[in-house]
């Protein structure tokens, strides 16, 4: 694994952690928060798949 790919992986993981932390501290109901987390996870998976395809 090259330094660039390690940095990219770290940046993605950091962004994901930030998104999850933001969602968990948001003043929403549990149902709404779970829905948001699922939507963000699907979006992140899609972006990751697109990056892998390149």
Sign of the CA dihedral with 39 first, then 42, 45, and 50 last: negative
Q: Which helix (H) or strand (E) holds 33?
A: helix 30-53
pLDDT reported for residue 44: 85
Residues contacting residue 16 through CB under 8 Å, at least 6 positions apart: 44
pLDDT reported for residue 36: 83
pLDDT tens for 26-40 read 787 888 878 888 998
pLDDT reported for residue 53: 73
Residues contacting residue 25 through CB under 8 Å, at least 6 positions apart: none
pLDDT reported for residue 29: 82
pLDDT band for position 5 (cuts 50, 70, 90):
confident
pTM of the model: 0.48
């Amino acid at each position: 694994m090259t330094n660039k790919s390690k940095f990219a992986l770290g940046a993605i993981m950091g962004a994901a952690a930030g998104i999850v932390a933001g969602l968990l501290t948001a003043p929403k109901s549990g149902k709404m928060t779970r829905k948001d987390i699922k939507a963000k996870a699907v979006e992140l998976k899609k972006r990751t798949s697109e990056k892998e395809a390149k």
